[in-house]
């Protein structure tokens, strides 16, 4: 991988961690069970994306 590609992967990993953190914060603030479930699914999807990109390294 080139340096530029590695920087891109690093940026993506950082963004995905940020999204996971924000999802967890939102889940702690939401009362509606259906909405909480939706946010949890989004958090899991971002975790999956993170793992996929991390696997490239």
Q: How confident is the model over 26-53, as pLDDT tens digits?
A: 999 999 999 999 999 999 999 999 999 8
Radius of gyration of the chain (CA): 14
Q: Rounded to two decimals, what is the model's pTM?
A: 0.80
Give residue 9's pLDDT.
85
Average pLDDT over residues 20-24: 94
Question: What's CA 47's distance to the chain center, in Å?
Answer: 5
Residue written as tokens 């993506």? 12
* CB under 8 A, 24+ apart: contacts of 30-39: none
């Amino acid at each position: 991988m080139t340096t530029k590609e590695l920087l891109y992967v690093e940026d993506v990993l950082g963004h995905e961690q940020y999204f996971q953190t924000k999802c967890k914060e939102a889940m702690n603030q939401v009362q509606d069970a259906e909405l909480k479930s939706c946010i949890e699914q989004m958090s899991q999807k971002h975790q999956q994306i993170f793992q996929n990109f991390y696997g490239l390294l």
